[in-house]
């Protein structure tokens, strides 16, 4: 991977040329190795812009990698590997940005900037608390503003698809956090209310 996709954010023509081999490996290796193969292929495809010729030239191995990942997601128990492989699945579909920034669903934290005053904020989507804070909440008591989740029945588009998928796969923790990721937060400093997902994607836009 140091040669194919350095730092997991740079791919080369040789990287994409490895996709047929990775697709073959994904079918022939055991579950533990399969996970690494799919993550490697996903990292490579995350570097390809949607609509890039790569999706046409390597359509067959990409489709195969998608099928294997789709099935593998149904068999994974732990949330950490699930979230990473869910990103790989999106990368094989050409879904940009979200194929890289779902990790906060695993860690329970995103760092964003307030769209109005520019203060750096923590968006915490934890098991017990979901809030925004402009100070390091892990070191001291800080002001916490509760997040406003979107009702599951009101989720739309990719948010709804991800929520339905995680529920179907038995990933309850991830499913519980998605309405907060696609909900709203308020800046503790200036009070501006904004969609969490908009600030997360703004943080990842090249």
The tens place of each residue's pLDDT in the chain, 206 residues long, gives 888 898 777 899 999 999 999 999 999 999 989 999 999 999 999 999 877 899 999 999 999 999 999 999 999 988 989 999 999 999 999 999 999 999 999 999 999 999 999 999 999 999 889 999 998 887 778 899 999 999 999 999 999 999 999 999 999 999 999 999 999 999 999 999 999 999 999 977 65
Q: Is 177 exposed, middle or buried (0-12, 13-18, 19+ CB in 10 A)?
A: buried
pLDDT at position 139 is 78
Q: Is the Cα torsion angle 9, 14, 19, 24 positive or negative in sign?
A: negative
Q: What is the SS3 assignment for 126?
A: coil
Euclidean distance between CA atoms 131 and 67, whole angstroms = 36
Q: 158-197: per-residue pLDDT in tens?
A: 999 999 999 999 999 999 999 999 999 999 999 999 999 9
pLDDT at position 205 is 60
pLDDT at position 206 is 56
pLDDT at position 148 is 98
pLDDT at position 127 is 87
Instruction: Give me the residue label for tokens 């740079």.
Output: 10
């Amino acid at each position: 991977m140091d040669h194919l996709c350095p730092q997991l954010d740079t791919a080369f023509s040789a990287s994409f040329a490895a996709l047929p081999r990775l697709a073959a490996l994904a079918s022939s290796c055991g579950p533990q190795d399969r996970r690494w193969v799919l993550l490697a292929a996903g990292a490579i495809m995350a570097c390809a812009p949607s609509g890039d010729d790569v999706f046409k030239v390597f359509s067959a191995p990409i489709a195969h990698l998608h099928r294997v990942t789709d099935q593998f997601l149904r068999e994974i128990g732990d949330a950490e590997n699930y979230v990473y492989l869910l990103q790989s699945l999106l990368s094989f579909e050409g879904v940009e940005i979200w194929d890289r920034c779902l990790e906060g669903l695993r860690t329970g934290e995103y760092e964003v900037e307030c769209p109005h005053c520019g203060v750096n904020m923590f968006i915490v989507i934890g098991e017990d608390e979901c809030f925004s804070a402009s100070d390091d909440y892990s070191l001291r008591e800080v002001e916490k503003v509760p997040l406003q989740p979107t009702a599951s029945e009101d989720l739309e588009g990719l948010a709804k698809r991800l929520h339905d998928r995680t529920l179907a796969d038995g990933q309850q923790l991830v499913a519980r956090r998605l309405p907060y990721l696609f909900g709203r937060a308020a800046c503790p400093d200036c009070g501006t209310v904004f969609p969490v997902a908009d600030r997360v994607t703004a943080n990842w836009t090249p």
